Amino acid sequence: MTVKTPVALITGGARRIGACIATQLHSKGYNLVIHFRSSNTDALDLANKLNCVRDNSVTLISADLVESKEVANLAQEAVSAFGRLDVLINNASSFYPTPVNTATDDQWDDLFGSNAKAPFFLSQALSSALTESGGCIINIADIHAQKPLKAHTLYCMAKAANVMLTLSLAKELAPHVRVNGIAPGAIMWPEQAAELSPESQQAIIEKIPLERAGKPENIANTVCYLLDNDYLNGQIIAVDGGRSLN
Catalytic residue numbers, as ranges: 155
Instruction: Return the amino acid letter for 70.
Output: E
CA-based Rg of the chain, rounded to a whole angstrom? 17
Question: Strand, helix or coil at 215?
Answer: coil
The edge-to-edge listing of strands for the beta sheet with 7-10 is 58-62, 31-36, 7-10, 87-90, 136-140, 178-184, 236-239
By the 8 A CB rule, do 71 and 44 touch? Answer: no
With a CB cutoff of 8 Å and minimum separation 6, the contacts of 64 are 37, 70
